[in-house]
Structure 1
Amino acid sequence: MNTLKSTALEPAPGALAGLSVGRRIAGLLPVYGLVVLTVLLAVLFSILLPDTFPTWLNVRSILGDKAVVAMLSLAATVPMMTGKIDLTVGYGVVLWQILAISLQIGGVPWPVAVLIVLAMGLVFGLINGLLVEVAQIDSFIATLGTGTVTYAVALWWTGGRQVIGQLSPGFFALDTASLFGVPIPAFYVFGLALLLWVVSSYTPLGRYFYAIGANPRAAELNGIPTRRYVMLAFMTSGVITALAGVVLAARLRVGQASVGLEFLLPALVGAFLGSTTINPGRVNVWGTVIGVVILAIGISGIEQLGGAFWVEPAFNGATLLFAIGLAGWTGRRRVQRATKHRRVKVRAAKPANQ
């Protein structure tokens, strides 16, 4: 198979050697600009809110509260690597948290209930993959349709009421436990991110995902079974979404259809922001994590400053527009750089041919 070049904007190894400090900073800014912005935002809120923001209690709160959003962002990131979008990360988490509670109320031991929910998430991802690859329905339309049906099933299952019953303390520990003083959900996020990073960056599977996302036709011509890997991406997303639903159920301790949809927008924002940092121009795992962190810091700081109840959705929506705009700008810049590089090579080759 031919080597497929990255579409990201990160400088090639040694590309910044010999440049002035200013030019090096300019070269690295598109790569780590969002990371720097995250740090500056944290410093700003720490100065404005010295008694509440730079505290371990606030850090624990952010790590615990945003874990579900982070998992859903990572779930959305995987199909985006293949050039697809999965809107069911926001809808599926509603049904999975209800199912995790309902199974236990029905007498199923909580470990078995968790495994059933994860298996259902896998099947649900497979259905999305079949609709996109076999039925050839656009991923946005397909996942919006299946997501809406999923939400309708959740409403039917609960009758619009809360699902309440006796649950095991062991199930609650999936959310309430801590390790070294850090909420256990933060370790779920870190473990998932580490696993996805290794797979996407250092295995053929990750290269296949990015190749399909860059050019599905070229990937097919290079012998990559695109249908199989796109379906695998949706199945992975389904399992991670189901895991997020389980953690959410352990946190809420009741099943209700009115909770979950508010995670859709921040999850997508985190994934889109992930394509603007670390490897700008390409969706990547650590970029997604940074995207969720900057959302968490921004919302936490604004709320502590006395922001109204509508601040969070407004911040998420504005950040989404910013992320998409920045992603488009980095994409255009990549094309301009490639064009300029080709022109320089042509000019350099002309004297040798004369």
Structure 2
Amino acid sequence: MTAAPPSRPSPVRPHGHHIGSYGLPVLGVLLFLVFSLLLPQTFPTRENVSAILSNQAVPAVLALGATLPIATGRFDLSIGYGLGLAHVMVMRLLVTEGWPWPLACLVVVCGGAVAGALTGVIVEFGQIDSFIATLGTGSMMYAATGWITGGARIVPGPEGLPASFTALYDSRFLGLPLPAFYVLAVAGVLWVLLERLPAGRYLYVIGSNPRAAAVLGIPTRAYCVAAFAGSGLVTGFAGVLLAAQQQTGNPSTGLDYLLPAFVGALLGSTTIRPGRANALGTLVAVAVLAVGLAGIGQLGAQFWATPLFNGGTLLVAVGLAGYAARRRLRAGAAASGRPPAGEEPPPAGRDGPS
């Protein structure tokens, strides 16, 4: 009779573990309280909360889409361009081609998944750095956007868009804007995928140590392509929401959402599950950013405050992500009894830590 293997001892949590895991949600609560004290008439109101949830739905969905490639150690810079292309495609199919809106939305979402998969193939099988590859494919998407629109806006006729289509964004459920529930649904699906299914564990192994993933027999290229395809799928869905929100096809829209999406995804990797991209962390990060932006906006900040806030937060997020990765490396070395291999974060593929 074979003896059962010894149980693995429970890891000892460092003293700052809870601060690292839940510091960002606490910061979000504190920000909300501070702005509520400074703006008692406008900030802690139901209308303001509804406006925040509605306005940040598209950036939140896009940030969740960016989380998938980041989990594998890759970065998809094409999501901003893909968002612009997806929303003008929806408008083109509805306004110019006269398609039924459910079919148009389905085609655009599936097309986003195909575009993401092609990007993944270029990155993995072409052996091109994901920054360069996705910047190139994104530029091609931007060119396609210009070709489809001719550089002009796509504006509905006097009859407007179908009411059932615009209701995708304008409706309310349980007293809250419907887009907020879309965000929760996407976050829930990604949480199950990354935290509860073997595919999610494979993505994390690929992101943290691709050599170990290869030794374990994980088809690294296939999973990375699937991660890009998932990112494209979510980007296509975000494009549908953007079209329902703006109700026009603007060829220049899309890039404005790229930086907030990456800020949310990277900042999210520093909370809940520090050191790895995770759906709940991204959701918390987007919420904190939304509260901060709404607060400084109501305090009368100038138009340049938003990109300044996003850019500064991105730098902080990358710094915190690097610190979390180094701390995880030191903790792993201490648990195994080996000295740390250095102060650099563990390898995460060709493009950086997950």
Same fold by TM-score greater than 0.5: yes
Q: What does residue 284 of structure 1 align with?
A: 278
Higher relative helix content: 1
| 1:340 CA displacement | 3.6
Partner Cα separation in structure 1 for residue 181 and residue 266 of structure 2: 23
Q: What does residue 71 of structure 1 align with?
A: 61
What are the Cα deviations for residues 323-342 of structure 1, in whole angstroms up to 9, with x where unaligned? 00111111222223333444
277-286 or 215-224, larger mean C-alpha shift: 215-224
Partner of residue 15 from structure 1, selected from 12, 16, 21 = 12
What are the Cα deviations for residues 272-321 of structure 1, in whole angstroms up to 9, with x where unaligned? 00110001111111110111111101110000000000000000000000
Q: Does 1:256 align with 2:250?
A: yes
Letter in 1 for 2:150: G
What are the Cα deviations for residues 123-156 of structure 1, in whole angstroms up to 9, with x where unaligned? 1011101101111111111111111111121122
Structure 1: unaligned runs, 5 residues or longer: 1-11, 17-22, 346-354
Partner of residue 90 from structure 2, selected from 89, 100, 104 = 100
Q: What does residue 243 of structure 1 align with?
A: 237
Partner of residue 36 from structure 1, selected from 26, 39, 45 = 26
TM-score (norm 2): 0.89
Partner Cα separation in structure 1 for residue 330 and residue 164 of structure 2: 55
Q: What does residue 58 of structure 1 align with?
A: 48
Letter in 2 for 1:243: F
Partner of residue 148 from structure 1, selected from 139, 148, 152 = 139
Q: What does residue 186 of structure 1 align with?
A: 180
| 1:15 CA displacement | 3.4
Runs of 4 or more, structure 1, over 6 Å off, are none
Q: 1:248 to 1:332 in 2, by over 3 A?
A: same
Within a 5 Å distance, the mapping from 1:227-242 to structure 2 comes to 227-242=221-236
Partner of residue 76 from structure 2, selected from 86, 104, 109 = 86
| 1:14 CA displacement | 7.3
Q: Does 1:47 align with 2:59?
A: no
333-342 or 95-104, larger mean C-alpha shift: 333-342
Letter in 1 for 2:17: G
Partner Cα separation in structure 2 for residue 277 and residue 119 of structure 1: 31
Q: What percentage of residue pairs aligned between the two structures are identical?
A: 50
Partner Cα separation in structure 2 for residue 83 and residue 260 of structure 1: 23
Letter in 2 for 1:157: I
TM-score (norm 1): 0.89
222-231 or 311-320, larger mean C-alpha shift: 222-231
Partner Cα separation in structure 1 for residue 195 and residue 66 of structure 2: 17
Q: Does 1:163 align with 2:128?
A: no
Name the SS of the counterpart of 2:301 in structure 1.
coil
Partner Cα separation in structure 1 for residue 337 and residue 205 of structure 2: 25
Partner of residue 317 from structure 1, selected from 307, 311, 318 = 311
Partner Cα separation in structure 1 for residue 17 and residue 187 of structure 2: 26
Q: Cα RMSD between the aligned structures? A: 1.6
Partner Cα separation in structure 1 for residue 130 and residue 235 of structure 2: 17
Q: How many residues get paired?
A: 327
